[in-house]
Amino acid sequence: MNWENKKVWIIGASSGIGQSLAYAINQKGGFVILSGRNEKALKATQSQLTHPQSSGILVLDLTKTDSMEESTAPYEHDFKNIDILIHSGGISQRSLALDTTLSSTELILKSNFLGQIPITQYAAKKMVQQSSGKIIVITSFTGKWGFFLRSSYAASKHALHGYYDSLRMEIENFGISVHLVTPGFIATEISKNALDAKGQATGDITIKELITRIRSGESISVLGYNLISPVQHKMYTPVTNTSISESEKTWVEIKTEHDTLILT
């Protein structure tokens, strides 16, 4: 795809997939609008762009997106036209369904699904006027299947598939395409911001860090389990014929004092 002079609005641009897309698209000549709730992190991302002059910043909290016209008003020049909208923001979860509070589930749904709707409506209306545009939504394989410790997270991702599959049918005749991207497990900061049963960030360490610390003999406790060696790598095999690359299949099975804990 030719990204030259394309206006691309990226939600969740301060880290992870969104940040990487911002770097790549800007390098290829695209004008990127960086959105997220952390202004300092967005500015750090902007400073690392190949062409930072071809970018803008709009601080946006996905739990507070009721009035997009008001939020974008100071940046009307940047939002005069939008060629591509990329949704890559949200939060994850690390808690059992039976322990997860309703308020925690509501926060996950607001961040991962409901908060997107006003943004999408705002951008899609401009695309209808242009008779062109693309909406790209980063979901998860949990939008297709559920997974351990991800009940509310999986529900939010399933909601994305239902909403955007329906939206696609409604706006495709206006020259607008809607794409759902369903990656497997990817090492990003989202795991460190995953919510526990009460809606607090768990501060999860990465799998690589976890393995290193366990092998060094350090005592680690996760979700109330005392983890012990050895750490065994397992391969996730989906129950359908959907193709998943080797890099996306890896999960980790860790033996604890009493049973087995699966971490992703």
* Tens-place pLDDT, residues 201-250: 555 555 555 555 555 655 544 444 444 443 443 333 333 333 333 333 33
Give the least confident one: 25-29, 146-150, 231-235. 231-235
pTM: 0.74
Q: Which is nearest to 91 in space by CA: 9, 204, 179?
A: 204
Q: Which CATH architecture has domain 7-187?
A: 3-Layer(aba) Sandwich (3.40)
More confident residue, 26 or 94: 26
Would residue 163 show up in a list of annotated catalytic residues for this protein? no
Check 122, 153, 163, 164 and give the catalytic one: 153
Residue type, 23: Y
Which residues, including other chains, have CB under 8 Å from residue 93's CB and lie 6 or more apart? 100, 104, 108, 149, 150, 151, 152, 153, 194, 195
More confident residue, 230 or 62: 62
* DSSP state for residue 144 in the 8-state scheme: T
In the chain, CATH 3.40.50.720 covers 7-187
Which residues, including other chains, have CB under 8 Å from residue 223's CB and lie 6 or more apart? 94, 149, 261
pLDDT in tens, 94-141: 788 888 899 999 999 999 999 999 999 999 999 999 999 999 999 988
User: Cα–Cα distances in Å, from 205 out to 94, 102, 193, 253, 263?
Assistant: 12, 25, 10, 15, 11
